[in-house]
Amino acid sequence: MQTKRVVITGVGAVSAFGRTWDDIRARFAAGENAVRYIAAWESYPELETKLGAPIADYAPPAHWTRKQLRSMGPLAQYCTDAAEQALEQAGLLNDPLIRDGRMGVAAGSSSGSTADVLDIGLMLAHQPNNFSANTYVRMMPHTTAANVAIFFGLTGRLIPTSSACTSGSQGIGYAYEAIKFGKIPMMLAGGADQLCPSEVFVFDTLYAASRRNGEAALTPRPYDAARDGLVLGEGGCMMVLEELEHARARGAEIIAEIVGYGANCDGSHITRPEEATMRRCIELALEDADLPPDAIGYVSGHGTATEHGDIAETRATAAVFGHVPISSQKSYLGHTLGACGALESWFAIEMMRDGQFFPTLNLDNPDPRCGDADYIAGSPRAINTEYVMNNNFAFGGVNTSLIFKRWTE
């Protein structure tokens, strides 16, 4: 079967470091993170960690109407905001062709907006609440994809990817496959999540959250022997994926090409990562791209700064590639959950275009139990490569691997 080539023609983002690559790159270069001590969480005495990486003073675009906003919680706002930016960059915002069935959306988040989940619970417990006709729409697992489709009038396929840390990367991967196999010429793809203490409680209960409450600048520490867990962040990122000839026909500027996607599941444990299936997922992406391992010049690691996750991921990576350059941008923005697969894919693409790859922050002493990879630490690394890989792994044993090619044609 003859397949289609898939390119990226627009990217939009909402993050704690800003919206544009220029803004985010400057903060990466400054060697600082977005982690803060959140005093409001002192009201939860059971919560050991008080650290998060919030977006400061977010407000949705001023031209959005109250009617448009009423179906969106914060994470749907992040996703729709990022999608609007991506469409504008791609030259497709307000273009009638996105509404005639030629564009769909694949996006997800860990869950819907948690404040609305709380309202359902309060209502059932006969407690005061803010339940309304829009509560479920804001809390439903596919609130990101549905809101994006409705906001822009998309009538192509809608693929919700609510799979925790792989929501964004699955969105990109499934959108890529839909275009590659000729089902649709354009897709919006990515994910979003909002910072909420309910999700922080999950990782805190699992002893997977950092408790360096007085040292926000020094955590998280992916791959470092002194790491003590992750820090949650928030954000959103969406990409316009397009069939190559469709993009060329309308004179679109091409950012990068997606050439490989691998996905599988561990099928063994709900939270414990498995090195063998992570490795196989990476191999599946290489097979899809028809590339040898040595073609990949950089790996954007999942790098959550959890003990078992870092060890399993890096061993799987080293088993496939050997001493490959790797770093984790979660050391700057925290773990953005449903957004991380899309945000970190975008970061990897932009670093490839710049030829400069930023290090893992706070990586002073790599854990000897981690794989024998080439950890980028201390300062940025100049690397000239045609291909980069982004890997993400999620609760439920969900594994994804994406390969992007520098656009030179």
Q: What's the pLDDT score for residue 327?
A: 98
CA distance 48 to 201: 9
Average pLDDT rounded to a whole number, residues 71-88? 97
Active site residue 237: no
Q: Are 298 and 328 in contact (CB under 8 A)?
A: no
Condensed to tens digits (0 to 9), the pLDDT of residues 219-242 reads 999 999 999 999 999 999 999 999
How many structural domains is the chain composed of? 2
The 10 Å CB-count burial string (b at 16+, else e) for 16-39 is: bbebebeebbebbeeeebbbbebe
Whole-number percent of the chain with pLDDT over 90 = 98
Domain identity same for 30 and 161: yes
Q: Is the dihedral of CA 142, 183, 349, 306 positive or negative?
A: positive
Report pTM: 0.97
Active site residue 308: no
Domain identity same for 39 and 178: yes
Q: What's the pLDDT score for residue 60?
A: 97
Domain identity same for 46 and 179: yes
Reported confidence tier of residue 382, pLDDT bands at 50, 70, 90: very high
The 10 Å CB-count burial string (b at 16+, else e) for 271-303 is: eebbbebbbbbbbbbbebbebeeebbbbbbbbb
Q: What's the pLDDT score for residue 346?
A: 98
For tokens 């959005």, the residue is: 64
Q: How many helices (H) and strands (E) does the chain have?
A: 13, 15
Reported confidence tier of residue 254, pLDDT bands at 50, 70, 90: very high
The residues that bridge with 236 in the sheet, in sequence order, are 14, 192
What letter does residue 42 receive in the DSSP assignment?
A: G
Q: 1 in a domain, yes or no?
A: no
CA distance 140 to 143: 5
Q: What's the pLDDT score for residue 191?
A: 98
Helix (H, G, I), strand (E, B) or coil at 244: helix
Active site residue 335: yes
The residues that bridge with 189 in the sheet, in sequence order, are 106, 239
CA distance 196 to 110: 11
Helix (H, G, I), strand (E, B) or coil at 95: coil
Domain identity same for 182 and 286: no
Q: What's the pLDDT score for residue 290?
A: 98
Domain identity same for 206 and 228: yes
Q: 49 in a domain, yes or no?
A: yes
Condensed to tens digits (0 to 9), the pLDDT of residues 35-62 reads 999 999 999 999 999 999 999 999 999 9
Q: What's the pLDDT score for residue 339?
A: 98
Condensed to tens digits (0 to 9), the pLDDT of residues 387-409 reads 999 999 999 999 999 999 999 98
Residue type, 62: A
Q: 256 in a domain, yes or no?
A: no
Structural domain containing residue 96:
6-249
Q: 204 in a domain, yes or no?
A: yes
Q: What's the pLDDT score for residue 400?
A: 98
Domain identity same for 65 and 175: yes
Q: At which of 191, 222, 249 does a domain end?
A: 249
| Number of Cβ within a 10 Å radius of residue 125 | 8
For tokens 């991921």, the residue is: 313
Q: Are 257 and 5 in contact (CB under 8 A)?
A: yes
Domain identity same for 272 and 324: yes
Q: At which of 214, 249, 284 does a domain end?
A: 249
Q: Over 90: is that where the pLDDT of 153 sits? A: yes
Q: Are 77 and 100 in contact (CB under 8 A)?
A: no
Domain identity same for 128 and 181: yes
Q: 255 in a domain, yes or no?
A: no
Domain identity same for 178 and 94: yes
Cβ burial of 45 (10 Å; 0-12, 13-18, 19+) is exposed
The CATH number assigned to the domain holding 351 equals 3.40.47.10
Q: What's the pLDDT score for residue 50?
A: 98
Average pLDDT rounded to a whole number, residues 114-141? 92
Condensed to tens digits (0 to 9), the pLDDT of residues 292-332 reads 999 999 999 999 999 999 999 999 999 999 999 999 999 99
Domain identity same for 13 and 123: yes
CA distance 310 to 229: 10
Q: At which of 228, 249, 270 does a domain end?
A: 249
**Catalytically annotated residue among 142, 237, 281, 335:** 335
Average pLDDT rounded to a whole number, residues 131-160? 96
Reported confidence tier of residue 180, pLDDT bands at 50, 70, 90: very high
Q: What's the pLDDT score for residue 409?
A: 82
**Catalytically annotated residue among 142, 196, 302, 370:** 302
Which residues neighbour 136 within 8 Å (Cβ) at sequence distance 6 or greater?
Answer: 116, 120
Condensed to tens digits (0 to 9), the pLDDT of residues 23-39 reads 999 999 999 999 999 99
Domain identity same for 227 and 146: yes
Q: What's the pLDDT score for residue 178?
A: 98
Domain identity same for 357 and 377: yes
Condensed to tens digits (0 to 9), the pLDDT of residues 323-381 reads 999 999 999 999 999 999 999 999 999 999 999 999 999 999 999 999 999 999 999 99
Q: 227 in a domain, yes or no?
A: yes
Reported confidence tier of residue 1, pLDDT bands at 50, 70, 90: confident
Q: 299 in a domain, yes or no?
A: yes
DSSP string, 283-294: HHHHHHHT--GG
> What is the average pLDDT score of the chain?
97
Longest dimension (CA), the chain: 62
Average pLDDT rounded to a whole number, residues 91-108? 97
**Catalytically annotated residue among 79, 142, 165, 340:** 165
